[in-house]
Amino acid sequence: MQILNGLELSKTIKKEIKEEVDVMVQQGHRPPHLVAILVGDDGASMTYVNNKIRSCKECGYESTLIKKTSDTTEEELIWLIKGLNADNTVDGFIVQLPLPDHINPDEVLLAISPEKDVDGFTPHSVGLMTLGLPSYKPATPYGILKMLQRYNIETAGKRCVVVGRSNIVGKPIGIMLGQNKSIGNCTVTILNTHTPNIEKYTKEADILIVAVGRPKMIHGDMVKEGVIVFDVGITRVVDESAKGYHLEGDVDFDSVAPKASYITPVPGGVGPMTVTMLLYNTLLARKKSIRR
Ligand code: NAP
């Protein structure tokens, strides 16, 4: 069994990004600039956004965190987004999800200019990605593709089972791994809450991707020997440590790892790669703006 060490791989990729940024700056260009918008005071969202801002600094990016109170209206948020769309000093921006209930996330996504959609969540980006055309790929699935590529894992002909069909993880990773690409050509099945006997499918998986948000829902008796496992789930479980919580994945690592050929840990697997691929998309956006 080999651990897919997302933390180490993300350090390597961030170093490569920093080298590119250094060259960019030496050539007289400004570095990439990522803006993150955070609405409200959700603890987990704040942690994720702070990680993104810290990673920007590590890579030599400019970054701006815009914090808005939870009573911000949809109109105010869209006004802010339109300003960022028009701001030539900003290469890409993200609106941290989830948003407060009174804001419709679909309306917010529709307001983001595709050119600055470094999260790859807008209908334009999703459409391009689905057609297999160059696009900003959503960061979490992109991180999984990168891990498969950098660990030299063959995907063609493999049976891939994805548990969860969210627009940001389950659906796009299923689409990407089913495409006729060098990391792709899998036969993909995507499961949801209506799927009866999910173990019937998980047991057939050569590659199992779990993005649900239910701690330890996948046990060793639900997978086959040699399976490659990506555990996307992150749930804060309350405990008595100084932090008051610890993170748990959707996979019961102790019973699944002995049967797996490769497996991502939680934390330190998919999570760090997500942040890194967001930076990668922002670098692409900056390169495009330099060429324009
Ligand atoms: P989500 O929007 O929370 O949706 C969960 C999905 O799981 C839904 O499609 C749901 O099906 C499905 N599901 C729930 N219970 C199921 C069951 N018993 N059997 C089969 N499918 C089931 O998904 P998400 O946003 O992708 O988040 C999932 C988890 O990944 C969360 O823990 C989140 O924190 C984590 N996450 C981690 C990263 C990272 O960087 N590591 C990034 C994004 C998300 P229905 O559609 O039928 O309701």
* Ordered domains of the chain (ranges, CATH): 28-113 (3.40.50.10860), 139-270 (3.40.50.720)
Minimal-distance CA residue to ligand 1 atom 18: 193
d(CA 90, CA 169): 26
Q: Cα(211) to centroid of ligand 1, in Å?
A: 4
pLDDT digits (tens, 9 = 90+) for 3-45: 999 999 999 999 999 999 999 999 999 999 999 999 999 988 9
How far, CA to CA in Å, does 10 sit from each of 59, 146, 175, 243, 265? 11, 10, 23, 24, 14
Minimal-distance CA residue to ligand 1 atom 6: 164
pLDDT confidence of residue 100? 97
pLDDT digits (tens, 9 = 90+) for 205-254: 999 999 999 999 999 999 999 999 999 999 999 999 988 999 999 999 99
Rg, the chain, Cα only: 19
Polymer length in residues for the chain: 292
Both tokens assigned to 258: 């002995």
Instruction: Please give the number of the atom of ligand 1 that sits closest to the Cα of 169.
Output: 26
